[in-house]
Chains A and B, each alone.
Chain A
Amino acid sequence: MKKTLILCGLIIAGITASFGQAKKPTIMVVPSDNWCIKNGFTMEFDNEGTKVVIPDYKKAFQQSTEVKLAVSAINGMMADRGFPLKDLESIMKSLESDAAEDAMRTSKSGAEVAENPVDILKKKAKADIIMELTWTVNKTGPKKSITWILRGLDSYTNKQVASAQGTGAPSMSAEVPVLIQEAVTAHIDNFNVQLQAHFDDMFVNGREIILRVKVWDDWDYDLESEDFGDDELGMIIEEWMDENTQKGRYNTTDMTETMALFEQVRIPMYNAKGRALDARGFAKVLYKKLKGDPMNIPCKLVQKGLGRATIYLGGK
């Protein structure tokens, strides 16, 4: 009897612990566009007559020891804080090898792996928070110093959630890698204090996401249709947002007959069942309401990481 009770207790504790964990954001260090362009790690392509310059991370990691050192030092210190980061260079290698494997793979019946244009577009290194890194080496006579900027950017809300910047002490003897290591050591704690504050805010006021509602052009209705309840469809969705966001916090940034954009949407970290919630989990409840009785609107739910979801109305 006693053993059964203990076993039950352990199972309940296990379930509670697994439900008590919120979805952990992924973080990745990326050299900034500014640094890549200044150091020549770029590639160009012609976008319908306009020359576009974008950073070439692969080239940067292959040719610059400094960028490898800076990224590795930050990764190491974040891992030490119990928050291991995604490694950009490894992800790029994985993407390449996955693409090669997918290209060669065929089923027994000879079919190839299905991939739509959006899948191809989404095949890039991504993380929920990007740590964007810039540094410049300043030279005054024989003295060298480093000006350092580290910014933490939320990939979905585009908000800067943490930053650390400054210029290190000038040195006549220290090499640039040593100065970079010093800069990381000097600034990472301040960066983490702000990141911690961002996470604390998230646990108190909810996770901030962006939710979009769009309409397929072959659908017979739109967000101004009054066939789905007492009010226009857009207003019904807004009412749902009032009731389901954390303390009713969200902004209706845009609302037309074909699209609705909700920004600064604060969603609870856990749903009513105690399970961790992200943008997809939150939007899924709205999706089910729209799809179910009495509205019966055919729709499609698409997510982008933890913080962005889109519902398309009028079909899959």
Chain B
Amino acid sequence: MRKLINKSTLLAVTFIAFGLSSNAQINAKTKKAQKDTEAWKYEIECVGIGKPGTKVIKVWSYSKRAKVATAQAKKNAVHGLIFQGYSGGGQGCTNQKALVTDPSVGEQKKEFFDNFFDINGGKYMKFVSHSSDSTPEVIGVKIKGYKFKVGVIVTVNTSALRKDLEAAGVIRGLSSGF
């Protein structure tokens, strides 16, 4: 009986240890991906005109694991529209300037953006969704150790995003001061 208990304990400890280790691995990869986003390691391009107040864009994220890059796409999309914008192209796309016109805002409001882009439930999730009719496009690349470049089409509710940033005092609204 005692032997059986010992075995069960050993098995349980092994499972927990394995679980913790895989969690730690996921966290480490997520953190890496988070770092990649902060270092602007992504590209965005317009793929069409969405409904009023939204932007349909394709986000190319880089990572050693394709899955992590896919998961980061939403965050990169929102980050890109706030800080980068994109140039126009086919499908009637016009160039879109970044919502933030002053590049130093990212540093000035660092705490706000750290919370906003928190991978564990950051507010950015409210403004972005995966396009239902697209599958991620995965390209193998070798740029500074990266292995995958993953393109995901997402829809960003720029109207709501802008209103949120205006309410937080990050950007000025059209009627600010009047």
Query: Is the pairing of A and B real?
Result: yes
Q: What's the A-B contact tally at a CB cutoff of 8 Å?
A: 73
A189 engages B174 (CB within 8 Å): no
B95 engages A185 (CB within 8 Å): no
| Contact pick for A24, options B95, B101, B172, B178, CB 8 Å | B178
B178 engages A81 (CB within 8 Å): no
Assembled-state Cα–Cα distance A203/B173 (Å): 13
Taking CB atoms, residues of chain B closer than 8 Å to A78 are: 174
Closest chain B CB from A181 CB (angstroms): 8
| Contact pick for B177, options A21, A166, A192, A193, CB 8 Å | A21
Taking CB atoms, residues of chain A closer than 8 Å to B172 are: 196, 200
Given contacts A164-B94, A190-B94, is CB(A199)–CB(B52) below 8 Å?
no
B178 engages A190 (CB within 8 Å): no
A77 within 8 A of B: yes
Chain A residues touching B, majority SS: helix
158-203 of chain A: CB within 8 A of chain B: 164, 166, 168-169, 181-187, 189-190, 192-193, 195-197, 199-200, 203
B23 within 8 A of A: no
Assembled-state Cα–Cα distance A77/B158 (Å): 12
Closest chain B CB from A187 CB (angstroms): 6
Closest to B46 in A: A186
Taking CB atoms, residues of chain B closer than 8 Å to A192 are: 174
Given contacts A80-B53, A168-B92, A182-B49, is CB(A22)–CB(B97) below 8 Å?
no
A186 engages B174 (CB within 8 Å): no
User: Which of under 10, 10 to 19, 20 to 34, or 35 or more describes the interface residues of B?
Assistant: 20 to 34
B93 engages A186 (CB within 8 Å): yes
134-178 of chain B: CB within 8 A of chain A: 158-159, 162, 166, 172-178
B91 within 8 A of A: yes
Taking CB atoms, residues of chain A closer than 8 Å to B175 are: 24, 81-83
252-279 of chain A: CB within 8 A of chain B: 269
A73 within 8 A of B: yes
A203 engages B177 (CB within 8 Å): yes
A23 within 8 A of B: yes
Q: Considering residues A73, A185, A203, which has the most beta carbons from chain B within 10 angstroms of its beta carbon?
A: A185
Assembled-state Cα–Cα distance A112/B19 (Å): 90
Assembled-state Cα–Cα distance A124/B85 (Å): 40
B96 within 8 A of A: yes
Taking CB atoms, residues of chain A closer than 8 Å to B122 are: none
Taking CB atoms, residues of chain A closer than 8 Å to B101 are: 193, 196-197
A186 engages B92 (CB within 8 Å): yes
Taking CB atoms, residues of chain B closer than 8 Å to A196 are: 101, 172, 174
Given contacts A185-B52, A186-B49, A190-B97, is CB(A22)–CB(B177) below 8 Å?
yes
22 contacts between A and B (CB under 8 A): A20-B177, A21-B177, A21-B178, A23-B178, A25-B178, A78-B174, A80-B52, A82-B166, A82-B175, A166-B88, A169-B91, A181-B52, A182-B49, A182-B92, A185-B52, A190-B97, A192-B174, A193-B97, A195-B174, A196-B174, A199-B176, A199-B177
Given A168-B49, A196-B172, output 19 extra A-B contacts at Cβ < 8 Å.
Answer: A20-B177, A21-B178, A22-B177, A23-B178, A73-B52, A78-B174, A83-B174, A83-B175, A182-B49, A182-B92, A183-B92, A185-B52, A186-B93, A190-B94, A199-B174, A199-B177, A200-B172, A203-B177, A269-B177
6 residue pairs, one from A and one from B, having the closest CB atoms: A169-B92, A24-B178, A168-B92, A83-B174, A82-B175, A186-B94
Interface residues of A (CB under 8 A from B): 20-25, 73, 76-78, 80-83, 164, 166, 168-169, 181-187, 189-190, 192-193, 195-197, 199-200, 203, 269
